[in-house]
Structure formats: structure tokens, C-alpha cells
């Protein structure tokens, strides 16, 4: 139900339940966690893409699983809902959204670092229509990505945000035509993986932790990142490649 493939420095994690709109059941939750474990532990893979088998990204929680008393199994101890939304990660994860991402599906998108979406994508939280709440991060993460009034409208009406509007408000990094989200996400992943992986990981961590922090904390985080990168082999390779006018050969160490 969750496929994992690696090609060069990039892995693709695909929710593969199109017959159930890629809804998250216990197998999907565990499958995503296992895929993330594999991605994070592989020193040769530096960026991952999260996708859904067409025509939908993810419809959120599988209501049939909930009705069967399996609600607790839709989360994992380390990752929270779908094994992802509360997961501590070190490497960049890109959401490739081709089609609707609703409820928990939109929360998976918000848990990623970057978003590539086709014009057929939608991002919505219909929970209030069924006397539910988006309790897997959507209620606080959406307003961090788009203006608070846009987030409030989406969450209180249950109406989705269309891809063009999501892009205009900064939720989407790359907007593409239907059917092209995965390919466009791969191009973005290649742009990231062309850079020094230790520097990428440390920079990501400081952006996430330092942006909402006070200046003193942000400076301390930046100094620690500089020290970590400075002790890596790639720290010496970068300037050497610049002087020798060649592409750097990163090792990730």
C-alpha cells in the first residue's frame, strides 16, 4: 500500500490505494513510517518525495478503518497520524500533489518541507462538515503557510483551497499541469540534492526551529549549524571545487 523507490539521491514514497482514494488505514500509516525510516537511514539518499497514486493525493483517514475500531492504528508512536505529521526528520521531504489532498491528506502535505502541485490539486479540511476537527496539525500549520484569514476560511467553511490560490499565497512552491507533479517534484529534488547534504540538513533545521524563535535562540542555532557543517569533509570540498573550477563531489560526511 506504500511503495518506496530510490533513484540516485532521490527516493519516492507513494501511497498506493487508489481504489480507496489513498485514504490512510493502519497499513498505510505503518508503510509511511517504514519508508521514512528507510529514507532517513540511507546515507546515499538525500531527498524524498511523497506522492499519491492518481487521481488523488490522499483523502485523509480511512473512515471504514475508524468505524472498525482501528482509529488508534492510523497513527504511529513516533510519527503520529500516518506515521508522518509528528515525525522528527533530518532530510528534506517534498509533497507531489496531483489531485485533492483533503483532511488528513492536507495535513500530510503541511508536514512536508516543500510542495509541488498540479492545477488539479486542492487542499481542504472538510472536518467541520462532519463535526470533526483537523487534529493532525492542520489547525495550526495551515495558518503558518498562508494568511490567517485564508486559513480560517478554509477550515471554518470546509471548502478547499484551489491550487492557483494556494500557490499565490505561498503554500505551493511549484505549480504545474495535471499529471506532471511527480516529474516537477523530481526536478526540485535534483536541485536540492546538487548541494552539500550536511549543509542542506543543517540549514533546514535552523529554518524550522529558528524562524519562530527569538533572535538569541536563532543565533545559537545558526552557530551550531556552522560548527556542524565546518567539521564535515564536504566543508573542505566546497571551497576546493570552487578554486579548481569544477563541480564539487559531495560525500555527505
Same domain? For 18 and 120 the reply is yes
DSSP code string of 58-112: B--B-HHHHHTT-GGGGEETTTEETTTTT---SS-EEEEE-SEEETHHHHHHHHS
**Which percentage of the chain shows pLDDT scores above 90?**
97
Residue 41's pLDDT is: 98
Q: What is the pLDDT of residues 220-237, one digit of tens each?
A: 999 999 999 999 999 999
pLDDT in tens, 70-128: 989 999 999 999 999 999 999 999 999 999 999 999 999 999 999 999 999 999 999 99
Q: What is the pLDDT of residues 179-212, one digit of tens each?
A: 999 999 999 999 999 999 999 999 999 999 999 9
* Three cell numbers, residue 106: 492536507
Q: How many domains does the chain have?
A: 2
Give the per-residue pLDDT at 47. Answer: 98
Q: What is the pLDDT of residue 248?
A: 93
- 2-13 pLDDT, tens per residue? 999 999 999 999
- Residue 177 and residue 204 in one domain: no
CATH number, domain of 166, equals 3.90.226.10
Q: Are residues 81 and 168 in the same domain?
A: yes
Q: Which of 33, 77, 88, 127 is catalytic?
A: 127
pTM listed for this prediction: 0.96
Kindly tell me the sign of the dihedral angle through the C-alpha atoms of 9, 85, 133, 110: negative
Do 68 and 127 belong to one domain?
Answer: yes
Q: 127 an active-site residue?
A: yes
From residue 44, alpha-carbon distances to 6, 47, 67, 135, 237 in Å are 9, 10, 41, 34, 18
Kindly provide the b/e burial profile for residues 51-64, where b requires at least 16 CB atoms within 10 angstroms of the residue's own CB. Answer: bbbbebbbbbbbee
Mean of all residue pLDDT scores within the chain? 97
Provide the pLDDT for residue 22. 98
Say which of 33, 40, 107, 180 is annotated catalytic: 107
Are 237 and 176 found together in one domain? no
Residue 61's pLDDT is: 95
- The closest of 162, 159, 163, 57 to 118, measured between CA atoms, is 163
Q: Indicate if 107 belongs to the active site.
A: yes
Amino acid at each position: 500500500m506504500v511503495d518506496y523507490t530510490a533513484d540516485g539521491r532521490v527516493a519516492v514514497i507513494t501511497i498506493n490505494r487508489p481504489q480507496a482514494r489513498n485514504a490512510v488505514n493502519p497499513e498505510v500509516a505503518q508503510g509511511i513510517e517504514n519508508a521514512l525510516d528507510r529514507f532517513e537511514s540511507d546515507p546515499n539518499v538525500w531527498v524524498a518525495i511523497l506522492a499519491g497514486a492518481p487521481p488523488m493525493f490522499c483523502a485523509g483517514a480511512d473512515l471504514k478503518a475508524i468505524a472498525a475500531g482501528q482509529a488508534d492504528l492510523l497513527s504511529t508512536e513516533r510519527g503520529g497520524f500516518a506515521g508522518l505529521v509528528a515525525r522528527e526528520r533530518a532530510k528534506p521531504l517534498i509533497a507531489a500533489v496531483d489531485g485533492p489532498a483533503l483532511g488528513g491528506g492536507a495535513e500530510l502535505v503541511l508536514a512536508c518541507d516543500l510542495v509541488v502541485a498540479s492545477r488539479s490539486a486542492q487542499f481542504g479540511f472538510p472536518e467541520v462538515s462532519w463535526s470533526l476537527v483537523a487534529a493532525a496539525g492542520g489547525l495550526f500549520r495551515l495558518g503558518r503557510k498562508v494568511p490567517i484569514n485564508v486559513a480560517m476560511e478554509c477550515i471554518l467553511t470546509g471548502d478547499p483551497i484551489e491550487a492557483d490560490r494556494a500557490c499565490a499565497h505561498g503554500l505551493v512552491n511549484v505549480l504545474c499541469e495535471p499529471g506532471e507533479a511527480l516529474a516537477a517534484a523530481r526536478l526540485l529534488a535534483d536541485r536540492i540534492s546538487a548541494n552539500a547534504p550536511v549543509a542542506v540538513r543543517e540549514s533546514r533545521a535552523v529554518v524550522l526551529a529558528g524562524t519562530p524563535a527569538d533572535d538569541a535562540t536563532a543565533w545559537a542555532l545558526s552557530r551550531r549549524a556552522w560548527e556542524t557543517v565546518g567539521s564535515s569533509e564536504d566543508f573542505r570540498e566546497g571551497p576546493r571545487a570552487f578554486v579548481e573550477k569544477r563541480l564539487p563531489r559531495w560525500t555527505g560526511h
